[in-house]
Structure 1
Amino acid sequence: KLEKKSKEITLLKKQTSNHAEITQSLLTTFDLNKLLALILENLTKGFNLDNAYIYNLEGSETTGILRCVATPGVISLKGIDRLTISFLEEEEIISLTLKNHLPLVIEEAGKDKRCSPGLLKLLRLEQMLLQTLYAHGKILGLVIAGNNQKKENLTPEEVERFSTIVNQAGIALENAQFYEKIQELTLHDELTGAYNYRYFYPKLREEMRLASRYRQPLSLAIIDLDDFKRYNDTNGHLAGDSALKQITQILVNRLRKTDVVARYGGEEFAVILPVTNREGAKKILEDLRKEIENYPFSGQETSKNLTISAGISTYPYDAREARELVEAADKGLYQAKNKGKNQICVYSQTSP
């Protein structure tokens, strides 16, 4: 009896130590992709389960949808469409789990009338363990884990450990989402919503490394609003702020998703154009220049339209380092200003 008791105490100590390590790793991981992978690993390998799904709840627990963001081998914050669960009120086992916030064990899903044929076909699990992802009074989503075929029944201790990990995962996910929002705010300009200077340089270096690896050109444009001080003085600072926001929207809407728009300074913007040569960049900027010249900015009282000037430099022809590429684009901008403004100039080392 003493030997049996000693083994039980040793096992309990090991489980307690493992639980502490899992909790520590979950609560100190703020990258959402890494966190989701960590949760999946602890739920599958930790309990010898074949599969697991992590779902985000979009909308209410009755009329919303559950969008799968992680399953072993696939993690997508935008959602894995083929695994989406809709019509939650019609899925009895899902509704029951979302309402109770407690782990629900299904030992033989094929014989359980609460599991719809559609859900069984979607998940392909015969033995299931479901629990709500919950943090600070808010339902975040749902975890479903289990086995493709019936194995030994899960013990109450295993279910309790599973529940503890899911509860910690809910708190960790909320922390990571909050951290991501804070990071997002620190990398965007407060007025325009464009990326800011802090984001711009690391992103430019990253894009230049990719351009180098794949032997592709990359162009950079530095854009400046012509006579913006006069525009502010004439129309007022509120109109000036509005114009900056509208220009940002024009840039974002007209450029590709792979292009990067950043507010570089007061009335200056930087645009990173991956896989774009000089000629392509010149055409893009000319189209933008014409659109802005003819755009009816709200709050504008003067008949003189707002215009832009821009300088363009291209990697690897004009520079091989980020700062040098910016300096070259700045010189192109200087050339555009000297030519009378409302101009786009491609940097040339031979130009004055």
Structure 2
Amino acid sequence: MRSLFKNLSLVPAKLRDKLITAFSLMSVIPLLILGYLAVTYIFPHNRDIGTVSYIIAMGVLIAFLGFSLAVSIIKPIIKLSADARRMADGDMTGSIAVDREDEVGVIEDSLNKITDKVRENMESLSSYGKEIGKLNLKINDNILAMQSLLQVGSIISKSTRITDVLELIMSKLSDLPFVGTAAIFMKDEDTGQLKIKASVNYDKDIALHHAAVQLFDDAMASAKPMVFDKGVHGQHAVNEFKDIYGVENFVLSPLFLQGYVIGLIFTGNALKDFTYDKEDISMLQIFVRQLNIAIENDILSRKAEALQVKDELTGLFNRKYIESQLDEEIKRAIMYQRPCSFAMFDIDDFLKFKDAHGGALSAGVIKSIAVNLKEMATDVDKIGRLEPDMFAIILPEKNKREALMLAENIAKKVSGMKFEVSMGRKASLTISGGVSENPIDGVSAKELISHAMQSVKKAKLQGKNKILG
């Protein structure tokens, strides 16, 4: 019965039908009633007041029912509008109570579904935002790492000292978010044992524990990076290493020179539940490759220096060549019982001159003095630049007296040179010298050089611009 009443009523009706019905009840039917009353009373065939009252009461009742029906339509629409405005303002926390089966109910249910979907999408966006934030941090870290690699590559290309390169690499490695401590170990050329060459946040006083030696040997034997993080368990040596060196995770990366393992880089951190990803390992290996290049460049540079015999500024022989040639000349002189002398010259107050007039002018002075030495030496003499302001000459077939005479002539020539230091202003320099002879003052290059050096020092103490033997 209740279902029949519901089907016969306007409850399940569409909003359009309800609006038409409401309009009819509030407008059309009352008009008809008024028309009926007018006809009846204009043409009064029936003057029954009770009937008229009854008809008017029915009209009012019908109008009231129409009004009530209209209110029942408008009120949920107003509430629905308020809920829609709340959602439009971004408040997706609540939901709309669905208690109707008409179009308003359909709209309420649809809005609830839309709200649920929007809320789900917002949660997804929030999750994506966190992931994007992590990705941005990773990108920023990679950019900083690439800048560090470029800086390291730049100083390697400039043939910077290997110790400076190692320290820079350590500094840049420590900037990586997954590196808290790092150290470079290389095999000693004589003993073959690993020696620490550079480190950051690493206690150099801690001797290599047997656990470290075991793991280092394993890494170098494998010739590939060994990674130890939260995914590695159960190895006694690993756990012991972590306890001793205060790390939770670490990587051992072998260093190579011409295909042979010569050491390794240790990098570690104390992060809990940390796992190295492929990008982390790849970044570490780029640093390792750069370090390999730096080490190889250093060795090649040292070999080139060993082969080099000329001073770049003056074209004179360098110290190493002079020392080796002096030994050869002494051996020859002893074998053939011939004299061999050695002369050394140091420019007086050259550092003061350089500070006053600059490096460029000072370099020109050095080259001018070198030219004069070449002009005064013979073809068999060998002239060298031992230090920035120190020169030397190997004098085969000359005894000390002859060497002193030549050295004094050189000193006079230098003191007479004029160097333009500014517009219309010139300056001069003097030299102090020392002479030694084999075998009187020594039978080796080291002894002759030492005797000549002592004579130079005495000459300076005696007022400079002197030659002593």
Provide the TM-score with structure 2 as the length reference: 0.39
- Say which structure, 1 or 2, has more relative contact order (CA 8 Å, 6+ apart): 1
User: Between Structure 1 and Structure 2, which shows a larger proportion of helix residues?
Assistant: 2
Provide the TM-score with structure 1 as the length reference: 0.50
